[in-house]
Amino acid sequence: MSSATAAGSAAPSTRVLVADDQQLVRTGFRLILDAQPDIQVVGEAADGAECVEMARRLRPDVCLVDIRMPELDGLEVTRILARPEATDPMRVVVVTTFDQDDYVHRALSDGACGFLLKDASPALLVEAVRAAHRGDALLSPEVTVRLLRQLKDGRGPSSAGGQPPRTALTERELAVARLVAVGRTNQEICAELFVSLGTVKTHLTKIQSRLGVRNRVEIAAWAWATGAVSQGSGPKS
């Protein structure tokens, strides 16, 4: 067998379960995700109870979960599958049309590793799935900025830890952290800093290690809490 054939027959590395009560949405997500060489949709659930049953049976790498569903809503599904106290917790990304702060706070508190709005671009949906599979987290940019401003004001769930000093990061790492804090994706950070995707990922790994945080949401929370990003400002040069 040729190397090309072997590569083409390799199993996708990320298995996804899609849960939404609208078939059109499930079909759209499947088309977007199955078009990626490293992602495969392994199941679709039309309600929350079915999502929990299929997740436990199929053990997908990532569950994409709507909030408003019959039987169990997506927030309850997230609590069951993703909360830190759960046995063998799963990675859940909430995808919804309902951009409400209490939904975001509850989903993240119960272990969700992503919160996207349904008007997000296909590229952002794909990146959120890949981030979740890596154990990282990704939020829609508008949700990120609003949530993290609340964290800075003490109105959101705390995730900035002990707020390590800003001097813990190099200038380039600080620039990356600022861009994460205002909702930039990895690809957008590449474009703004004129660096490769691999370099951005390396910076993020080093930032997480230096600050003792787990993912990009906590990097962003640190940036807002320590003043690395001023409220109402964009990234600093």
Considering the segment(s) 155-225 as one domain, its CATH architecture is Orthogonal Bundle (1.10)
User: Which of 18, 65, 11, 78 has its CA nearest to residue 42?
Assistant: 18
CA gap 3, 125 in Å, rounded: 30
Residue 8 has what pLDDT? 45
pLDDT, position 7: 42
Torsion of CA 113, 118, 119, 121, to 10 degrees: 50
pLDDT in tens, 188-225: 889 999 999 889 889 988 888 888 876 777 787 788 77
Contacts of 153 (CB under 8 A, 6+ apart): 231
* Domain-wise residue ranges, the chain: 11-139, 155-225
The 10s digit of each residue's pLDDT in 40-92 is 999 999 999 999 999 999 999 999 999 999 999 989 999 999 887 777 889 99
- Taking domain 11-139, whether its CATH number is 1.10.287.610 is answered by no
The amino acid at residue 64 is: L
Q: Which residues contact 27 (CB under 8 A, 6 or more apart)?
A: none
Residue whose tokens read 């993240």: 108
β-pairing verdict for 39-45 and 14-19: parallel
